Amino acid sequence: MLIWWLDPFHGGSHAAVASGYAAHSTHRVRLITLSQAGGWRWRMRGGAVTLARLVADLSEWPDVIVATDMLDLATFRALTYRQLGHIPVALYFHENQLTYPIPPERKRDYTFAWINFTSALVADTVLFNSAFHRRDWLAALPGMLRRYHDYHELQTVEQIAAKAQVLPPGLDLPPLPPRQPRDPTAPPVILWNARWEYDKQPHVVMAALEYLAERGVRFRLIVTGEHIDPTAPDLIAARRRWADHTIHWGYAGDRQTYLALLRQADIVVSAAIQEYFGIAILEAIACGCVPLLPARLNYPDLIPPEWHADCLYADDADLPNALARLIGDLPRLTRYDWSAVARPYRWESLVAQYDATLAALVR
């Protein structure tokens, strides 16, 4: 088959999934993308028009199209109906604009949530990156529809649910040798590999580190993730505060450096309030890190149930105690092969599921 992968906001995890699938699929996958430079709002508004123009000049039509959630798929299908109206389309939800948490000072613009809704309506199948994401979005959808005066069309929720599937993103990782046993006398290395942004709650993680420091718990620190605003006062203050503990602070320049940093860490911590899947956490687990995650979002589905008591904490207030407790339990927890948790999500394991899902859509 020839598969078109349409992504109007191509970067980060979106680009990683698209390029990872293209590299591993048994089919031909053509990426048709726009950069992130225009900003996600403009891409959701205007990307469909631009992508419709770009594909009009192509000489070979696909057997199936995959579009990401940043595309106004209803507009794209209308603009390309004569050429592509017979081609089945799958809509892939990396995130959505209905349940994505927003800062307290900002009001939600339901224009973008509505684009997600109409895109799902016109798609032949809707793919979510996790079961949590599917549940979360479908549960919130009736509330958005009821906001309006009449003709709420609530039956569309069941119509979308009937064609919704779960297809996790793949991890593109090289073979990783077994980790050497850690020195029990060395301070544990704590990793935080999320974006420095409100939805990842860096202040909660930094408060947990203060708790450790006040109690004399030794630790080292690796902070690697995208810094949206490198001049943010809280970011600068945290970097200064933990300078004496820091092995590395800042966005890793390349994939090899990033993975090497992950393999130095013992514990990966999250305090996120937005995580529809958790690629960065799984990458750290694949590299042998013990996870400590809030018992919310997709995290309970990522971690095997037998490890929930050790690796999931109740709420933000519980993180400091949970982190101290996990550090004390490291000799026991590091005996487990954590990389096995991530193994089913490697592209080598997942690509057949992607290929079969899209082939079934064509049939």
pTM attached to this predicted model = 0.95
Phi and psi angles of residue 259, each rounded to the nearest 5 degrees, phi first: -65, -35
Q: Report pLDDT digits (tens) over 203-246.
A: 999 999 999 999 999 999 999 988 888 899 999 999 999 999 99
Q: What does the pLDDT read at residue 196?
A: 94
Q: Do domains 2-169+347-362 and 189-344 have the same CATH topology?
A: yes
Fold adopted by 2-169+347-362: Rossmann fold (3.40.50)
DSSP at 242: T
Q: Can you spell out the DSSP letters for 5-50?
A: EEEEEESHHHHHHHHHHHHH-SSEEEEEEEESTT-HHHHHHHHHHH
For residue 178, what pLDDT is reported? 83
Q: Where are the domains of the chain?
A: 2-169+347-362, 189-344
Contacts of 235 (CB under 8 A, 6+ apart): 196, 202, 227, 229
> Which fold, 189-344?
Rossmann fold (3.40.50)
Residues of the chain with pLDDT under 50: none
